[in-house]
Structure 1
Amino acid sequence: MQWFQKLLQGTPELALFLCLAAGYAIGRVKVWKLSLGGIAGTLIVAILVGMAGKVTLNDQVKNIAFALFIFTLGYLSGPSFFASLNRRSLRYGVFTVIEVVSLLAITAVSVLLLNLDAGTAAGLMGGGATESAVVGTSTDAIARLDLPPDQIQTLQANVGTAYSISYICGLITIVLLTSQIAPAVMRIDLRTEAQRLWAKIGGGAEDPGQATALPDLVGRAHTVTVADGSTVAAVEGSLGPHATVERVVRDGKRVDFAPGTRLRAGDVLVLIGRRDPMIHAEELIGPEVAAHGMDFDLDVEQVLLTTKAAQGLTLGDLKKHVPPDAHGVYLTGVARMDHQLPLRDGTELHTGDVVRLTGAKSDVRTYAGKVGFLLNTSVKADFVFISLGVTLGFLIGKIEVPLGAVPLSLGTGGGCLLSGLLFGWLRAKHPTFGQYDPAAASVIKDLGLATFICAVGLTSGPQAVQLIEKFGVALPIAGVLMTLIPACVSLTVAWKLMKLPAPLALGSVAGQQCSTPAITAVQGIAGNATPLMSYTIVYALSNVVLPLLGPIVVAMSRSLG
Structure 2
Amino acid sequence: MDWIESTLESTPEIALFLCLALGFAVGRVKIWKISLGGVAGTLIVAIFLGMFADIELNDQVKTIAFALFIFTLGYISGPTFFASLNRRSLRYATFTGIEVVSVLAITAAAVLIMDLDVGTAAGLLAGGATESAAVGTATDAIGRLDLSADEIATLQANVGTAYSISYICGLITIVLLSSQFFPLIMRVNLREEAAKLWKRLGGAADDATAAPAAPAIVGREYLVSAAAGKTVAELQADLGEATVEEVFREGAQVKVEPGVRLAEGDRVLLVGRREALVGAAGRIGAEVDLDESMGMSLDLADVVVTRKGYTAATLGDIRREFAEERQGVFLQRITRGDHELPVQPKTLIQRGDTLRLAGATRDMQRVVPMIGFRVDPKVTFDMVFIAVGVVLGFLIGLLVWTVGTIPLTLGTGGGCLLAGLLFGWIRSKRPTFGQYDSGAADVIKTLGLATFICAVGLSSGPQAVKLVEQFGVGLPIAGVAMTAIPAFVSLFVAWKVMKLPAPLTLGAVTGQQCSTPGVTAVQGAAGNATPLMAYTIVYAFSNVVLPLLGPIVVAMAHAIG
Asked if structure 1 preserves the Cα contact closer than 8 Å seen for 2:397 and 2:413, the reply is yes
Quick one: structure 1 residues 385 and 56, their matched pair in 2 at CA, closer, same or farther if it must change by over 3 Å? same
Asked if structure 1 preserves the Cα contact closer than 8 Å seen for 2:208 and 2:274, the reply is no
Match of 2:440? 440
Offset of residue 205 of structure 1: 6.7
Offset of residue 271 of structure 1: 0.7
Match of 1:560? 560
The aligned runs of 1:81-160 (5 Å cut-off) are 81-160=81-160
Residue aligned with 1:351, SS: coil
Offset of residue 307 of structure 1: 5.5
Question: Is 1:479 matched with 2:479?
Answer: yes
Residue aligned with 2:313, SS: coil
Match of 2:421? 421
Match of 1:374? 374
TM-score, scaled relative to structure 2: 0.97
Quick one: structure 1 residues 244 and 426, their matched pair in 2 at CA, closer, same or farther if it must change by over 3 Å? same
| Comparing 275-284 and 115-124, the one that deviates more | 275-284
Match of 1:275? 274
Quick one: structure 1 residues 205 and 3, their matched pair in 2 at CA, closer, same or farther if it must change by over 3 Å? farther
What is the CA RMSD across the aligned residues, in angstroms? 1.5
Structure 2, unmatched stretches of 5+, are none
Residue aligned with 1:63, SS: helix
For 1:105 and 1:36, the matched residues in 2 are separated by 26
Question: Is 1:185 matched with 2:205?
Answer: no
Residue aligned with 2:204, SS: coil
Q: In the alignment, residue 518 of structure 1 is paired with which amino acid? A: G
Match of 1:76? 76
Offset of residue 267 of structure 1: 1.3
Asked if structure 2 preserves the Cα contact closer than 8 Å seen for 1:75 and 1:422, the reply is yes
| Comparing 192-201 and 292-301, the one that deviates more | 292-301
Residue aligned with 1:249, SS: strand
Match of 2:242? 243
Match of 1:234? 234
Match of 1:38? 38
Q: In the alignment, residue 356 of structure 2 is paired with which amino acid? A: R
Quick one: structure 1 residues 208 and 404, their matched pair in 2 at CA, closer, same or farther if it must change by over 3 Å? farther
Asked if structure 2 preserves the Cα contact closer than 8 Å seen for 1:322 and 1:329, the reply is no
Match of 1:527? 527
1:383-436 per-position Cα deviation (integer Å, ceiling 9, x unaligned): 111000000000001011232333321110110010011011111111111111
Match of 2:457? 457
Match of 1:351? 351
Offset of residue 326 of structure 1: 5.0
1:156-212 per-position Cα deviation (integer Å, ceiling 9, x unaligned): 000000000000000000000000111111111111111111111224176677533
For 1:553 and 1:307, the matched residues in 2 are separated by 40
Offset of residue 44 of structure 1: 0.4
Residue aligned with 1:215, SS: coil
Residue aligned with 1:395, SS: helix
For 2:394 and 2:330, the matched residues in 1 are separated by 43
For 2:68 and 2:250, the matched residues in 1 are separated by 61
Offset of residue 230 of structure 1: 2.8
Q: In the alignment, residue 306 of structure 2 is paired with which amino acid? A: T
Asked if structure 2 preserves the Cα contact closer than 8 Å seen for 1:323 and 1:367, the reply is no
Asked if structure 1 preserves the Cα contact closer than 8 Å seen for 2:408 and 2:551, the reply is no
1:485-534 per-position Cα deviation (integer Å, ceiling 9, x unaligned): 00011001100111000000000000001000000011111111110010
Quick one: structure 1 residues 49 and 518, their matched pair in 2 at CA, closer, same or farther if it must change by over 3 Å? same
TM-score, scaled relative to structure 1: 0.97
Q: In the alignment, residue 360 of structure 2 is paired with which amino acid? A: A
Structure 1, unmatched stretches of 5+, are none
Q: In the alignment, residue 272 of structure 2 is paired with which amino acid? A: G
Asked if structure 2 preserves the Cα contact closer than 8 Å seen for 1:512 and 1:539, the reply is yes
Residue aligned with 2:288, SS: coil
For 2:133 and 2:259, the matched residues in 1 are separated by 60
Match of 1:260? 259
Asked if structure 1 preserves the Cα contact closer than 8 Å seen for 2:248 and 2:267, the reply is yes
For 1:86 and 1:262, the matched residues in 2 are separated by 46
For 2:464 and 2:164, the matched residues in 1 are separated by 10
Percent of pairs with identical residues? 63
Residue aligned with 1:530, SS: coil
Match of 2:390? 390
For 1:132 and 1:208, the matched residues in 2 are separated by 38
Q: In the alignment, residue 262 of structure 1 is paired with which amino acid? A: R
1:437-486 per-position Cα deviation (integer Å, ceiling 9, x unaligned): 11111110000000000000000001111001111111111101110000
1:90-115 per-position Cα deviation (integer Å, ceiling 9, x unaligned): 11111001100000110011001111
Asked if structure 2 preserves the Cα contact closer than 8 Å seen for 1:70 and 1:133, the reply is yes
Offset of residue 324 of structure 1: 4.3
Residue aligned with 1:204, SS: helix
Equivalences, count:
560
Quick one: structure 1 residues 180 and 213, their matched pair in 2 at CA, closer, same or farther if it must change by over 3 Å? farther
Quick one: structure 1 residues 199 and 78, their matched pair in 2 at CA, closer, same or farther if it must change by over 3 Å? same
| Comparing 403-412 and 9-18, the one that deviates more | 403-412
For 1:514 and 1:545, the matched residues in 2 are separated by 11
Residue aligned with 2:146, SS: coil
Question: Is 1:289 matched with 2:275?
Answer: no
1:285-307 per-position Cα deviation (integer Å, ceiling 9, x unaligned): 11111114133221110000016
